[in-house]
Amino acid sequence: MNDAAVSTGIPRIGDPAPAFTAVTTQGEITFPADYAGSWVIFFSHPADFTPVCTSEFMTFATMEDEFTALNTKLVGLSIDGLYSHIAWLRTIKDKIEFKGMKDVEVTFPLIEDITMEIARKYGMIMPGEDSTKAVRAVFVVDPQGIIRTIIYYPLSLGRNFDELKRVIIALQTADALAVATPADWRPGDAVIVPTAGSCGTAKDRMEGKEEGVTCVDWFFCTKDVSEEAVFAAITK
């Protein structure tokens, strides 16, 4: 297999997260085994001491408690070395202020990947973008170690962190309530119930016989779930 193929191979949604052991700013980790029972946002950034990455790490660190409340842990990666990581995170803490954020301490692990072995395993190196830097990849891994969402951004585009949090909440809601979430869904919006699996169920729904379910057509039915009910379901 040529280098380009190795660099651009990407695990698929529904695959077990590729396993690895790595040195990080918080000690050695074995992934995903060390995170069994928790959701994980595993993400890459192009390089330490770069402004877009700095803004992202400050945002992630500032939101870490919000993700923790959703049983979600953060794990970062770039192909820089451990000492570069440490120096950069100290600089963020001591010197950087952005959008009202300052004195930000990054306490989640940042992986050293100078060999690019892990980045290649996750398809984070895309030669068409840069052959020596990881793109801004995001892998959402569930408590069973299964990849549930994959999002890629180019080097120039900082991530939308409200969307990353929305993804976690929506995935957890879908699992907890056996529903799907429509476009632009937010907690408190109506959810989509599974499509009717029989003519009888479809007929009952269209005739309003299924309590709490509203149908636009036999295949497109929703039900209301309050924001409180969503968080009760996903945080119990």
Write the DSSP symbol of residue 132: S
Provide the pairing of β-strand 110-112 with 29-31.
unpaired
Helix (H) or strand (E) holding 65: helix 51-68
Percentage helix, strand, coil, to 5, in the chain? 35, 25, 40
In 3D space, the residue among 122, 135, 153, 160 whose CA is nearest the CA of residue 44 turns out to be 135
Using CA atoms, how far residue 152 sits from 123, 160, 170, 197, 221, in Å, is 10, 12, 19, 35, 31
16 neighbors 145 (Cβ within 8 angstroms)? yes
Active-site position among 53, 199, 215, 221: 53
Q: Is 136 annotated as a binding residue?
A: yes
Instruction: Assess whether 53 carries a catalytic annotation.
Output: yes
Residues making up the binding site for substrate: 136
Which residues are catalytically annotated? 53
